[in-house]
Structure 1
């Protein structure tokens, strides 16, 4: 049947043939034929009747399909995700789909003025644009807000197309406008949240005291915060600017005088982060103005979660911190001067007292010897006592020279473990009862250049200082020797105070006790000559240790807490042949 519907004539011939076939079928059992003309006329009438019936059947079928298609179209039209309306030139709604009715929340739409559905502020805008839509609607859109009666209006985007209704003077006359209404409320909400987030981020950046900017991979400034702007306005660079679109590298190249080297170093640091050679970069630099001295710290970091090849540059004013550091250093110098004056005063008083006592003994015995000689008595005993006093004075003078690091030219290469082992044997023979000494001197030990007697003085003074801390009670002293890297030497309570490592590796002698410990306030004074606490002694043991180490480019550290014992660590540089690379 579809083959016979290719054109109108074919369809008519198809109906004719079908009608004749039906009439012939009906006439096959008819009464005998009458006249030839009457039979043909009847035949034609019957065929025509059948043709009309077939045409009616075809029309009803087509009408049913058209109705079905129209219902499907109307379903799509009314349930489309976008609203559709038809407006006339006055802005009156001629037709609208159900989606638009749901948008405005009203049942009666047709015949209403579209502008009345908008919030009052948007109505004049729509009326002005309506005329533009009718003249040339292509590529034109407008966003307006529909008043839904709720607290928040519905944001919609309007796009239009002309509906041609006739011809006037050879041109189409536009009488109606087909408008697509798209709900963009969610998009507007997201945009508003994004804008609030950006404003919040900018507010945070503008609240920072640091001067912050963002650079691209060419060094161009693409964003700055308020602190950066204020500083740039107050301190304009020579021959350039540091606002958006300026090249920061060019600004650094324009620096002159004392600032040129710092600017070059900072620019190279930025390039290192941009090129991926460094994760971060920071440096402190002076940035003085004509009226004040200022210091800043500049930091460069990669911009995370954004375009590659961008960095954040932040400059923070640290003038307050620098001034505090200077004041602290000045105060420390004052304290050191006061401590030095106190130490010198104490040392001078102690030396004077020591020599006064010794000289009193010497002078007294010499006077007694003179008197004995005048009376013919034996003066040997008095002379011996005077000589002993003189030797004590000489010993005190020698200890003072040792504290100053003088008079120690004699040196030899010694295995420190072997040298200390012989000294420990003498200490064990003279140790107090109840005291335990533990030794870890693994052979061969590190080799150092020092006189053997000076090693004896160091170890003996430290051990005697430790067992004096026991106050005659039971306790334990531990000693060990090992080789350490220079970086492992502690910097807290390290003496001499100005000591810095000059070698890669050092021999370390540790003497540790579990005595009463040293008060925190005394830790910085225990190496002063003649400083004593509640322990007995002349107060020259630890100063002698410090003087020997000073003369040999060594140092000593002390760690102690009251009631928890004390640990002394002596560091001596390895001999030249022993300070090579590790095997």
Structure 2
């Protein structure tokens, strides 16, 4: 037996001590463990004395006991290592959680009952452009836009006093003053020492709101397109019907007036009635212009020069207390337009601006420049289906200092017969839009920076070269009346209109034969082809329309002059591809001068 002071040999199969722990009980785990070791050793010494007094200890027992103790020591050290690994894993997991918490795509906030922010992640700080430290202990309401604070107070009450779960939308104000639309999801969590807490997830919905606005704008544009299409069909049908009726009225009034003595009071009355009927025909013509289908010839023009030539006429139509100020470039931009249509556009826009002053007088500014497609406004732009071409566009801006366009009517101001004025006809802006549409352009209407109305006409400039086209503003001109010879076949399904047509052609010196529709006209022509010099044929008829009638008549006589006539304007009536082209087109209502003007010469 070895000396008691000598440490017994380790069992042959005993595990070596953990690396770095030789000569040191439990390695480097600090003073508390050393103290614990010392206390254990003292307790063992006391117990050993008692055991030795009761019974002797054999060497083999000591070795067995030492081995068991050594195994237990290593087991404890392995358990300690497992605990250390578990602790590290927990710390790593906590770090990952904190990364997920701080770097999440949404803001996480913990609020107390008063709405004070207890905790916030980094995303919340970035969302509000604040340091995280400055968020804590601040009231969440301080970030809510003033208009939504009452809503937030109600939502907070529902979270803490009601269901404990809420989804809400608010507008927050960031540190830079910018508005931030958000959606929040709140859940009531457990209590802390200060009372219940709420976990709130806040998401930035700026892109969603922008997409909703764009979708609403697109839907509004589609509604505008559908409305314009519906209004266009209605305007065309009304104009066609009224022009047929007005043709009867004006034709009879013109012939009656010519039969009356010059100094007759009755002649004056008939003359006034004829003037009123022609004014009515002008209104009907405005409806057709609104459709935007013009056959006016378009040619390259210097837009600034066109506007300069119109200034005297525009100023002459203004009240004395309304001034017109212009600003044009020396040259250009060059556009492909009908000068007569540009005249109509400016006349109606300037008149509309003048009426905005309501008799008080003021200043109207008109200027011409060039803009890029990106600078053309999308909202309140008409027609809604129009999109700008690539490249620069010419702009005519007409600005007044009146009360401006109310936001709730801006989508209606180009509708036929819509007017904010008690005695307005409501057709001026409709006609201007139709004329611009015929030039492949658009009009934008908005409030000007100075508070009045700003009307902007945009016209494409693509591929337009400089042209020295001469043009003089339109004025009234009468057509010389020629004496007619021969026989005219008049084809018209409206009895009154057929009757007045026969009278007017007879007044011009022609003999007439009539037919009520195309089928009858073909039969009449077969029986009278040697007598008939030319044909005046309506376009819209039952059984056989004007185009089919024209084709059938030309199949019988390829050289037969046929004049087509309609209550629709020429662009609407002639805007189709046909096998045969007419000799001319005559719009209704007729006048003796117009009838004489379209008649073929021998």
State the TM-score, normalizing by the size of structure 2: 0.43
- Larger RCO, structures 1/2 (Cα 8 Å, 6+ apart): 2
TM-score by length of 1: 0.45
